[in-house]
Structure 1
Amino acid sequence: MIEPLTPLSRLILVTGPARSGKSEWAERLAKNSGLSVIYIATSRLDSTDVEWQNRIQQHQVRRPPEWKTLEVPVDLAATLQAVYNPNTCILVDSLGTWLANLLEEDDSSWQTILGDLIITLNKASGLIIFVAEETGWGVVPAYPIGRKFRDRLGILVQKIGAISNPVYLVTGGHVLNLSELGSPL
């Protein structure tokens, strides 16, 4: 069941493991918002990666044709500032892909980028739905870059989750409203 949107539902976070249905749930929330939708795709197109192109195409086919799509692999905060308004639902898919595009940033630059995003979200009007992956439920990655990704994504999702209401966990094809079931840290 999809809850009606309220003034507290300005930011929504949908998180979960790979192939759990989180993007479909976020798309359903956007469709049911009654607002015009801007879909922000954070992936980079790679013409040499056929499997990745197929994944992107699956997402494109599911989206209604009237949704505006923006490809934003890096400049997320600036794009959000430029497009949000009270009559728009923005769907960002996904935070993990966005982070991967910025993984080579040093810690200081990453903290600035993350801080800019949080400041932007605190000022946002309209509805913003984020899709984020959960990567920290498995083994510790064997390589430093994998650990860096996992740690940064965990902190990013936690920060976005702290200012979102509701926060959904999608796993095993089921949706849990963590805002109703859990307590914030």
Structure 2
Amino acid sequence: MAFPILVTGPSRSGKSEWAEHLAAQNHPSVIYIATGKENAADVDWQNRIQQHRDRRPSHWQTLCVDQNLTDTLETLPAGSCALVDSLGGWVANTLELSPEQWQTKQRELITFATQGQNTPITIIFVAEETGWGVIPVYALGRIFRDRLGALTRQLGGLCGQVYLVTGGYAVDLRRWGEPLPPPRD
């Protein structure tokens, strides 16, 4: 169908809203893939989840996914649009994986998502820009930030459309940006 779309930006920038706008524009069948785990003990978190639910059209299907993002994407009907919100939630769900297990999960997702015209669905990824702040002082925070940053960079280089949402604006990075050379090993 189409190459995937990446929408990235800092917290509270409107990236989910922009991704929802893109999905609603041309896709009658949208499947919202939520990666954030519900936590009844955290009232603020539950309120944030509810705000996202309230904003979405009621006819959109919602799937909650933890580690099995690629498996879920592979089962979606042809012609549908998958809005993955967000890659940060998915990375957080996979933090206990070893580096080798993480590389396998990441490679599976990138391979599936970047098959271009052979992928029977449109995928819109939402990703947080966690590297714009300080380097976390604890190891798990650094692993999260590094994994998400590397995944976002890889997808950004392969997606057909890449948007940075900040300050209330969505900037088309493919149009206005220059791609980086591939990272050296």
Fold shared by both chains (TM-score > 0.5)? yes
Shift of 1:84: 4.5
Shift of 1:125: 2.0
Alignment partner of 1:51 out of 40, 44, 52: 44
Q: Distance in 2 between matches of 1:84 and 1:165?
A: 21
Match of 2:28 in 1: 35
Q: Does 1:97 align with 2:92?
A: no
Q: Distance in 1 between matches of 2:27 and 2:75?
A: 21
Structure 2 spans left out of the alignment, 5+ residues? 181-185
Alignment partner of 1:148 out of 143, 150, 155: 143
Shift of 1:98: 0.7
Q: Which amino acid aligns with 2:154?
A: K
Aligned residue pairs total 177
Q: Secondary structure at the match of 1:35?
A: coil
Q: Secondary structure at the match of 1:136?
A: helix
Alignment partner of 2:106 out of 79, 92, 114: 114
Match of 1:164 in 2: 159
Shift of 1:10: 2.6
Q: Secondary structure at the match of 1:10?
A: coil
- Contact kept, 8 Å, 2:3 with 2:114, in 1: the verdict is no
- Percent of aligned positions that are identical: 54
| Greater Cα offset, 13-22 or 115-124 | 115-124
Q: Can you list the C-alpha shifts for 1:40-93, whole angstroms capped at 9, x where unaligned?
A: 0011111111111000000000010110110012100000001052x2111000
Structure 1 spans left out of the alignment, 5+ residues? 1-6
Q: Can you list the C-alpha shifts for 1:29-48, whole angstroms capped at 9, x where unaligned?
A: 00102331000001111111
Q: Does 1:176 align with 2:168?
A: no
Q: Which 4+ runs in 1 deviate beyond 3 A?
A: none
Assess, with a 3 A threshold, how the Cα gap between structure 1 residues 34 and 116 changes in structure 2: closer, same or farther.
closer
Q: Distance in 2 between matches of 1:84 and 1:113?
A: 22
Q: Which amino acid aligns with 1:67?
A: W
Alignment partner of 2:120 out of 118, 125, 129: 125
Q: Structure 2 matches for 1:7-46, cutoff 5 A?
A: 9-46=2-39
Shift of 1:126: 2.3
- Contact kept, 8 Å, 2:33 with 2:62, in 1: the verdict is yes
CA RMSD of aligned residues (A): 1.2
Q: Distance in 2 between matches of 1:44 and 1:160?
A: 23
Match of 2:183 in 1: none
- Contact kept, 8 Å, 1:10 with 1:125, in 2: the verdict is no
Q: Which amino acid aligns with 2:140?
A: I
- Contact kept, 8 Å, 1:161 with 1:167, in 2: the verdict is yes
